[in-house]
Structure 1
C-alpha cells in the first residue's frame, strides 16, 4: 500500500497516485503549487492524494524518452502546506519519485533511468536524500540507485508504501 505519514501525529495515510484530470487543473493554482501546471498538459501529469480525500498534495510531470530508456521528471511540486519545517505530511516527493521509478521499470525494465534538471539549490538535496547521480545538467537514478528508491517506496505487490 502506498502511504505518507502525518508529521505531528505520525499517523500513516494511504495514498493514491493517478493521472490529473481536466477538472483537477481548475484546482491546481500557482499559489499552492509554485508553477503553472496547465503548461504541462502535453506531458504525463500525476497527482498524489490521500485516499479518503480529493485534496491534491503533490504533482509530478513526466516525459518518456523510449530511445534512451528514460523518463524525465519535468516538474515536481509538493503543495505549499507540505513544504518546510511546518509541513503536514512527509515523503510526498519521495513517493512521486518512487512512482516515476516504477513507471520507468514498467516501460524499460532493468535499463530504466529517471532524470531531472533540478533548480541549483535543490541539486544537492536530491543527490543526498534520493541517491541521484550528478550527470552534469541532469541528475538521475538508474541501476541499483533506482531500484533502492522503488524498494523504499513500493512494496512487493507494486503498491507505493
Structure 2
C-alpha cells in the first residue's frame, strides 16, 4: 500500500498493523480526534504508518459481524496534521478502508461487506470518493465497489 506525499508527489509505502495496548496512549484526542481507549474490548484498532515508522498517520477501529458477513468501521481518522488543505499525505483513509475491505474479503469471500456510520457533514464525501452506497443510517461497500477499493488502495494505488 502507498500514500502520496503532497509536497513532492512521491509515493510512500505504508503498513497497517493491529494497535497494541501500549500504542493506545499515543492515540490522543489532540492528535486523532477520538478517545481510542473507549474502543477497547469491542473493536480491533488498526494503525497506518510509513514503513520507516515515522509515526502513526491514521487509525481505524473495526467490529466484525460474522452472521452478516460484514466488517463495520466504527471509527476512522487521519492524524490532525493530515486533514484539510495543509495535509502532508494523500490516501491515508483510502488505504485504511481498503484494508478493511481486504479483511472482509479474506473472511467472507464473495459475500464480503464493509460498512460505516458517517458523520453527516462527510457522508457525501464517502459516497463520491469511495463509491459507498447509501443504506439509510449506514454507508456500505460490497461486490464490485468493494473490489475496486481493494484494487485502488491495497494492490496498486
1:32 alignment counterpart? 31
Q: Distance in 1 between matches of 2:119 and 2:3?
A: 25
The gaps in structure 2 that reach 5 residues or longer are: none
> Scaled by the length of structure 1, what TM-score is found?
0.94
Q: Distance in 2 between matches of 1:44 and 1:84?
A: 26
Q: Which moved more, 1:90-99 or 1:54-63?
A: 54-63
Q: Distance in 2 between matches of 1:144 and 1:12?
A: 26
1:120 alignment counterpart? 120
Matched, 1:111 2:118: no
1:149 alignment counterpart? 149
Mapping 1:1-161, distance limit 5 Å: 2-42=1-41, 43-155=43-155, 161=157
> Scaled by the length of structure 2, what TM-score is found?
0.97
RMSD: 1.0
The secondary structure found in structure 2 opposite 1:5 is: strand
Post-superposition CA distance 1:61-93 (Å, at most 9, x none) = 000000000000000010000000000000000
Q: Distance in 1 between matches of 2:137 and 2:53?
A: 37
Where has structure 1 moved over 2 Å in runs of 4 or more?
A: none
The secondary structure found in structure 1 opposite 2:118 is: coil
The gaps in structure 1 that reach 5 residues or longer are: none
Q: Distance in 2 between matches of 1:124 and 1:154?
A: 23
Q: Distance in 2 between matches of 1:3 and 1:154?
A: 8
By how many angstroms is 1:54 displaced? 4.4
Q: Which moved more, 1:50-59 or 1:62-71?
A: 50-59
